[in-house]
Amino acid sequence: MPKKSADKQSTSRNERALALMKVLVERYIRDGQPVGSQTLAKDSGLSLSPATIRNIMADLEDMGLLESPHTSAGRIPTAKGYRMFVDSLLTVKPLNSREVEGIKQQLYNSTDTNLLISQASDMLSSITHLAGLVTIPRRERVLLQHIEFLPLSSRRVLVIMVVNNQEVQNRVIHVDRDLSQSQLQQAANFINAEYAGLELNTVRDRIFASMHDARDAMHKLMQEAMTIADQVLDIQQDEDYVLAGQTNLMNYAEMCDIDKLRQLFEAFNAKRDILHILDQSIHAEGTQIFIGEESGYSVLGDCSVVTAPYKVNDEVIGVLGVIGPTRMPYERVISVVDVTAKLLSAALRLE
Amino acid sequence: MPKKSADKQSTSRNERALALMKVLVERYIRDGQPVGSQTLAKDSGLSLSPATIRNIMADLEDMGLLESPHTSAGRIPTAKGYRMFVDSLLTVKPLNSREVEGIKQQLYNSTDTNLLISQASDMLSSITHLAGLVTIPRRERVLLQHIEFLPLSSRRVLVIMVVNNQEVQNRVIHVDRDLSQSQLQQAANFINAEYAGLELNTVRDRIFASMHDARDAMHKLMQEAMTIADQVLDIQQDEDYVLAGQTNLMNYAEMCDIDKLRQLFEAFNAKRDILHILDQSIHAEGTQIFIGEESGYSVLGDCSVVTAPYKVNDEVIGVLGVIGPTRMPYERVISVVDVTAKLLSAALRLE
DNA sequence: GCTTAGCACTCAAATCCCTCGAGTGCTAAT
DNA sequence: ATTAGCACTCGAGGGATTTGAGTGCTAAGC
């Protein structure tokens, strides 16, 4: 039965090729040098001669998984090669409990959301020695808790809005008629009594609906106040992220090209592209990995991004992750990102 | 009279040396190459042969103003050389009115203080192509305008404090007894009625003085609230700064050393050293210049910092400036920093 | 039919060598 | 005091050469 034999053979061949692929990628990630047939022969555990390994590597190169920088160098993984590595070959290395404990310590000690976010970013960066990033959480539901109007100079009113238990937003608005302190108080009282505890969107809509004539200065004030609600919502939507440890990236040989580095840093400053990438993963379930230009941005040519969403009450409210050279230790980074996302979620729930 | 003749001679010699020094520094700043005797002979306007110029340069080198990277290169200014250049030789080039107008446009359009600060930083960076930095303003006088206590869950109270017309500070505090909403309201009313318009320090001291027994929960609350005042004051004191255009620094050849660059960026992140330098200039009258390691920090070895304080109502509240390679176009940078400080002061006064 | 030893070949990196040229310091002439 | 002249230095640039790691191919071996 030649068929069966062929099958078995080709399966085992294939498996062997994959095993070699795995060892090669791991090796390259470890020391950043192109890997040659001899090295691989010694390192793979399989007892194969360099010549055989060369044949196999040639196959892998034909498949587009490997490439050689030049004829007389070893081989390095292509983006496609990394992709198949993380998809099928990777053995994720879970963090040991001491490490998990360390992250917990850091995150559970602080109460302020913003502090928490930036600490999470610091953690990611210091553990992985890559750049860590965490998006500012956005909450779908913004509940009005309390509103306050304070007169500043004439016709300028400071609006203070407490939402979601303890977040305070404030803004100065201009009104086109002088309003007395008691009038302002009255307006605030009305809103607080009538609408506290409702979602900001709802409050806004109801106020607009019930007062659509809006000739009365007081109504106008309230309406204007509610446009702040819009802005608050906008700010929530208009995302931002916290970045830590960019300088870590300077340590990688791949990044020695100062011009590339500059472009990358400029992308960090511009934020738009990075945010777009993070956006892509906000609706994904678990850890996501973008390798090289998969992200669609050429600045990230030699970079990979590993992300995971974090949530409160089963609702995804942000994304965190790291960014580093394609040649990063995925098996570790993935765990770190994953665990940090989970712990940050837990820490936020406590608030 | 040999004495007179000698005097005259030596004066003119000295002047000639200084003129050459000036041309040399300008030239080096312009193109970053060591300047040789021939170049200088052509460029100086003085009709002197290269040989003479070499003699003069040798003198300047003896004085510690110049050095040569190696035997067969031209000369470049030492830190001491730059120092004497900016102190005595520099002809500051005022900005033309169009440029001033541009800065004004940018700054006068925005009302929010924080926005203003970061725009000033952006301006500095984009005009000079160096890194711009502006400290967050600190005000000596923090006037309490209004305070509000909001009950969160049991024993957690959100304190919202409005100071200085429109700045809002808020914090959650824990109390050790349940307090009703009306009790909280009462406490707030008391403080607002009694202390609004006073300086926060004073308010704090008076509350502590008048209630030093503090067994009553209400008093305790107020006292605790006043510890927030401390924190607010602390935050004001605990300075911070806004940085823009770090990536500009990557364009300078001096900064091609990736390791130095990393150290510099890390200093930016750590903030402490940079803040210390800025601190030094907060009490100086006008523009200040730190050249190379004069600042006392070796990370800034090849960098200069040009700063100017900005004020509101004749009170200095912050410092702004730029940071770049020692080889920066001082005559222009100084004007830019100076003008931006003045315009930022003016823009802040409008608020 | 796979595996592998052998071999010729390739190519980057390192090293050496050479030249070129910008610049210097010194000396002697003006 | 200035300057022309000259010998000298030293980095930068440009081959040439060597080295070594690595490849592909072929033919022999299991």
Q: pLDDT per residue over B8-42, tens digit each?
A: 444 566 888 898 999 999 999 998 899 999 999 88
Mean pLDDT value across residues B99-111: 85
Instruction: Give the Cα separation of B295 and A170 in Å (integer).
Output: 39
CATH number, domain A144-237:
3.30.390
pLDDT tens digits, one per residue of A85-101: 999 999 999 999 999 99
Radius of gyration (C-alpha) of chain B in whole angstroms: 28
The 10 Å Cβ neighbour count of residue B256 is 11
What's residue A340's pLDDT?
Answer: 96
For chain B, the structural domain boundaries read 2-89, 97-137+239-350, 144-237
Domain B2-89 has CATH 1.10.10.10: yes
What digits encode the pLDDT tens for the residues A198-250?
888 888 888 777 766 556 666 777 777 777 667 666 655 567 899 999 999 98
For residues A288 and A307, the answer to whether their CB atoms sit within 8 Å is: yes
A256 and B258 within 8 Å at the Cβ level: the answer is: yes
pLDDT, mean of residues A311-340: 93
Of residues B148, B152, B250, nearest to A261 (C-beta): B250
Would the CB atoms of A172 and B148 count as touching at under 8 Å? no
Rounded distance between C-alpha atoms, residue B39 and residue B44, angstroms = 8
Q: How confident is the model at residue B184 (pLDDT cuts 50, 70, 90)?
A: confident
Instruction: Give the whole-angstrom CA distance, residue A180 versus residue A186.
Output: 10
Closest residue, chain B, to A262 (C-alpha): B247
Q: Which two tokens stand for residue B247?
A: 């990536």
For tokens 């903030």, name the residue.
Answer: B271
At residue B180 the predicted structure's pLDDT band, cuts being 50, 70 and 90, is confident
Which chain B residue has the Cα nearest residue A111? B172
Over residues B112-141, the mean pLDDT reads 89
Checking if the pLDDT of B5 tops 80, the result is no
User: Is it true that domain A13-89 has CATH number 1.10.10.10?
Assistant: yes
The widest CA-to-CA distance across chain B, in whole angstroms, is: 98
Exposure class string for A273-305: b at 16+ Cβ within 10 A, else e:
bbbebbebbbeeeebbbbbbebbebebbebbbb
What amino acid is encoded at B297 in this protein? Y
pLDDT of residue B98: 92
Instruction: Give residue-wise pLDDT tens across range A150-179.
Output: 887 777 888 888 887 777 877 777 777 777
Q: Residue A236: what pLDDT?
A: 57
Query: What is the mean predicted confidence (pLDDT) over B86-111?
Result: 88
Which residues are registered as beta bridge partners of B322?
Answer: B132, B306
Mean local confidence (pLDDT), B99-122: 86
pLDDT, mean of residues B316-343: 95
Interface membership of A240 toward B (CB under 8 Å): no
Burial of residue B123, with CB atoms counted within 10 A of its CB: 0-12 exposed, 13-18 middle, 19 or more buried: buried
Please check whether strand D approaches the CB of B1 to within 7 Å: no
Strand partners, A151: A157
Instruction: Please give the average per-residue pLDDT across B52-80, as a whole number.
Output: 92
**Minimal CA–CA distance to A261: which of B247, B270, B300, B302?**
B247
Q: Is the dihedral of CA B270, B271, B272, B274 positive or negative?
A: positive
Residues 6+ away with beta carbon under 8 Å from A247: B262, B265, B266, B269
Residues 6+ apart with CB under 8 A from A313: A349
Distance to chain A for B108, nearest Cα, Å: 17
Class of domain B97-137+239-350: alpha beta
Taking each helix axis as running N to C, give the angle between helix A200-210 and helix A181-195, from 0 to 180 degrees, rounded to the nearest 10. 120
